[in-house]
Amino acid sequence: MKKDEKLKKHERLAMTKKARIAVIGAGWWATEYHIPFLKARQSDVDLVAVCRLGLDELEHVKQRFDIPFASESFLEVIEKTKPDGVIVSSPHVAHFEHALAALEAGAHVLIEKPMTVKAEDARKLETIAREKGVQLLIPHGWNFTHYMTAAAKWFANGQIGELRHFNLQMGSALMDLFAGKPMEETAEHTFRPPASTWADPKRAGGYGWGQLSHALGAFFRVTSLDASTVYAKTGKSPTGVDYFDAVLMEMENGAIGVVSGTAAVPKHIGPHVDMRLYGDEGSIHLDLERELLELRRFDGKDQIHPFATGEGAKAYSTKEPLDRFVDICLGKVATNDGDGTVGRRTIEVLEAMYQSSEQQSEINIKEQK
């Protein structure tokens, strides 16, 4: 059989099979987004198992979504159902052990943000996924958009030359969440975001882990550099997690820039992300609040990438990363715009940010590898 005929046969098989997917961590986000999405795609998805702590809550999820197998043990879920893919949406501090078990079993893994809460763990997951030949996908929703792809292509093609300076800013309407209060928008949801995940400094609560991870994921989707040093200050919420983040960062090529985040945005405004990259041949400006992406070059050969109204910050995509993940589990060709490298680079910066804020000193990421 010729090579192209084999490829066509493989594609036909991918179209006829179903992806067997398990969900580990069935709380607020999974029951509102992940699980309903998987159930809506029943033509090519079998949601084979669910895992969460709390027998009553687990049984409720199992019955509500008609899931054939449920267990409080993530190892039992993986061993008994042998899924093609695993979605990890457990509390931040549990991401590493859950993803590690799934990867070692040979499953593709979609792991919610933050990928891990230790850079060493992020590097390990990135390495294991590569060695096992499976995909690790972090669903940074904005990364899977046409405008982020366009910005990444401009950067990769050298349209701004060598990166020299950058500004990255994100704001969210989440002062309630990081103060340990019920999140206003989730009043009618099955489960609500628990303070133990979002507002406890001992369990990776705070704006950096919970929100700035989105902006950093976008930054590392567009650029292709590791960070080298970080110096940071943070402002605290009533529970002691960070409400406000201010970071001075240097990249491996010597570029310097600032990263900032705030939870103090009014609820009726919604999130915003603004990224400006300055090189020795031009600049890229991406403003999701104002739905703007532009390339400005020293030679005047500027470009404006079109935005449709409503495609900006408020149109955060929960569906596209899941679609890509299912396609990966089916063996289809699918671009992973939130891979382990994006995740690892993000966690290296966040870990260094918190260390720097606590120690009041610059953190050298290279020395920690």
User: Could you tell me which residues are beta bridge partners of residue 71?
Assistant: 51
pLDDT digits (tens, 9 = 90+) for 138-168: 999 999 999 999 999 999 999 999 999 999 9
Domain boundaries in the chain? 3-141, 143-314+337-368
User: What CATH number has the domain spanning 3-141?
Assistant: 3.40.50.720
Band of the pLDDT at 15, cuts 50, 70, 90? low
What pLDDT is attached to residue 52? 98
Could you tell me what percent of the chain has a pLDDT over 70? 96
What pLDDT is attached to residue 263? 98
- Asked if residue 3 has pLDDT above 90, the reply is no
191-203: average pLDDT: 96
pLDDT digits (tens, 9 = 90+) for 229-240: 999 999 999 999
- Distance, CA of 130 to CA of 103 (rounded, Å): 10
- Asked if residue 1 has pLDDT above 50, the reply is no
Peptide bond into 114 cis (omega under 30): yes
Band of the pLDDT at 126, cuts 50, 70, 90? very high
**Does domain 143-314+337-368 bear CATH number 3.30.360.10?**
yes
Closest CA to 340 of 109, 92, 33, 90: 109
- Asked if residue 10 has pLDDT above 60, the reply is no
pLDDT digits (tens, 9 = 90+) for 64-74: 999 999 999 99
Residue type, 251: M
Could you tell me what percent of the chain has a pLDDT over 90? 91
User: If you search the block for the tokens 């893919």, which residue do you land on?
Assistant: 85
- Per the prediction, the chain carries an average pLDDT of 94
- Asked if residue 349 has pLDDT above 70, the reply is yes
Cβ atoms < 10 Å from Cβ of 183: 17
183 DSSP 8-state letter: P
- Asked if residue 38 has pLDDT above 60, the reply is yes
pLDDT digits (tens, 9 = 90+) for 108-117: 999 999 999 9
What pLDDT is attached to residue 317? 81
What pLDDT is attached to residue 270? 84
Q: Which residue has the higher pLDDT, 318 or 299?
A: 299
Closest CA to 209 of 254, 286, 261: 261
Q: Which residue has the higher pLDDT, 13 or 50?
A: 50
The end-to-end CA distance of the chain, in Å, is: 47
Peptide bond into 201 cis (omega under 30): no
How many Cα atoms within 13 Å fall on the side-chain side of residue 338? 31
Do 3-141 and 143-314+337-368 come out as alike in CATH topology?
A: no
Cβ atoms < 10 Å from Cβ of 133: 8
What pLDDT is attached to residue 12? 45
What pLDDT is attached to residue 16? 57
271-294: average pLDDT: 97
- Asked if residue 11 has pLDDT above 60, the reply is no
